[in-house]
């Protein structure tokens, strides 16, 4: 059994490299990777070599939005799980720190997270993961959709952090995959009005198709001129200007969840408006216990994710997949199938 991986040797240079097939230890499962989404963070590492304060080391494996099939189990894991289709939650906490013990495992300082330096990711044929973080997939859910539960989880958690409730008006800044997932989550949470802003018209077309009440092209107008007054804001663009404009449109007593990571690590912030309007600002980092609800929503048909996939690539075309969304703004989600098109 071979285990090829798409390795980021340095910025904008990916090659296939054969690596040992990992062996599951006690409590782990070995997964044959079926589907991996290309995330915006993968593209940051590919083009810039870093994301915020995190720097990709040489010969780094990207990818954390993944699904697959269990092919082996470690000691203590029921062998009946072999053959099970699973969605992979890519962060493995230590389950012992104060954050884990109070349920906030996304804040675990001992977290091992796929494609978070120095830990390699899932752009490969086989990975091991803690059995509890390999979530069984209902028959109605495809492996591609299961891989996209990871970005959906970011959107679900952001809406929880912002306190989105039925009847709320919600502003989402940034209409990439995370922004669209936040849109889906806001809709599920019962928001009555969902405003989405972006600088790419093609992305706003996607947002309109997914249920946005109003779309706003930030290249053509300002949020103030758009005449919106949201109660909640989910910032997904990483743009300092989007954050500033968004704050200035907020209702008094509203709340903001910050999700997007941009090049400006310390952007300017309209502090006076936050104070005067008594806005509550939350950081929203990854997710906690979102896979079960996401799987139920997909299985019930309340959410559909397969149509977000713009193209599917074999592992040998990982570099092409990483570049596709930047070359074509209408190209939303690239998916890699690591076990297709590779000599096994």
Structural domains for the chain: 4-148+305-337 (3.90.180.10), 155-283 (3.40.50.720)
Q: What is the pLDDT of residue 329?
A: 87
Tell me the C-alpha distance between 120 and 337, whole Å.
17
Tell me the C-alpha distance between 99 and 102, whole Å.
5
Cis peptide before 8 (omega within 30 of 0): no
Phi/psi at 197 (5° precision): -125, 145
Stretch 196-222: mean pLDDT, rounded? 96
Q: What are 220-229's pLDDT values in tens digits?
A: 999 999 999 9
Q: What's the token pair of residue 121?
A: 């990711």
Per-residue confidence at 264, pLDDT binned at 50, 70, 90?
Answer: low
Q: What are 46-81's pLDDT values in tens digits?
A: 999 998 889 999 999 999 999 999 999 999 999 999
Q: What is the pLDDT of residue 297?
A: 96
Q: What is the pLDDT of residue 267?
A: 72
Q: What is the pLDDT of residue 344?
A: 59
Q: State the Cα angle at 191 between 189 and 195, rounded to 5°.
A: 125
Tell me the C-alpha distance between 192 and 132, whole Å.
36
pTM across the whole model: 0.96
């Amino acid at each position: 059994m071979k285990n090829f991986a798409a390795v980021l040797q340095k910025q904008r240079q990916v090659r296939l490299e054969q690596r040992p097939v990992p062996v599951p230890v006690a409590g782990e499962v070995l997964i044959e990777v079926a589907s991996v989404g290309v995330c915006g963070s993968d593209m940051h590492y590919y083009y810039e070599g870093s994301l915020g304060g995190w720097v990709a080391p040489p010969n780094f494996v990207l990818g954390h939005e993944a699904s697959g099939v269990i092919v082996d189990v470690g000691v203590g894991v029921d062998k009946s799980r072999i053959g099970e289709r699973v969605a992979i939650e890519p962060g493995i906490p230590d389950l012992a720190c104060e954050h884990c013990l109070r349920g906030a495992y996304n804040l675990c300082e001992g977290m091992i997270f796929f494609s978070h330096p120095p830990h390699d990711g899932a752009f490969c044929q086989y990975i091991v993961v803690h059995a509890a973080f390999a979530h069984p997939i209902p028959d109605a859910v495809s492996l591609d959709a299961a891989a996209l539960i990871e970005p959906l989880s970011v959107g679900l958690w952001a809406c929880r952090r912002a306190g989105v409730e039925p009847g709320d008006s919600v502003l989402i800044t940034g209409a990439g995959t995370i922004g669209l997932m936040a849109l889906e989550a806001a809709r599920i949470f019962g928001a009555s009005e969902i405003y989405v802003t972006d600088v790419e018209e093609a992305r706003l077309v996607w947002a309109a198709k997914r249920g946005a009440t109003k779309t706003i092209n930030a290249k053509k107008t300002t949020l103030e001129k758009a005449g919106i007054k949201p109660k909640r804001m989910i910032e997904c663009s990483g743009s300092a200007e989007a954050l500033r404009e968004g704050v200035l449109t907020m209702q008094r007593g509203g709340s903001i969840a910050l999700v997007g990571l941009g090049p400006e690590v310390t952007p300017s912030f309209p502090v006076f408006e936050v104070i005067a309007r008594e806005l509550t600002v939350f950081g929203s980092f990854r997710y906690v216990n979102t896979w079960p609800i996401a799987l139920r929503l997909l299985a019930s048909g309340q959410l559909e994710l397969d149509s977000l996939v713009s193209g599917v690539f074999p592992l040998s075309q990982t570099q092409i997949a990483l570049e596709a969304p930047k070359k074509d703004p209408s190209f939303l989600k690239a998916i890699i199938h690591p076990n297709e098109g590779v000599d096994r």
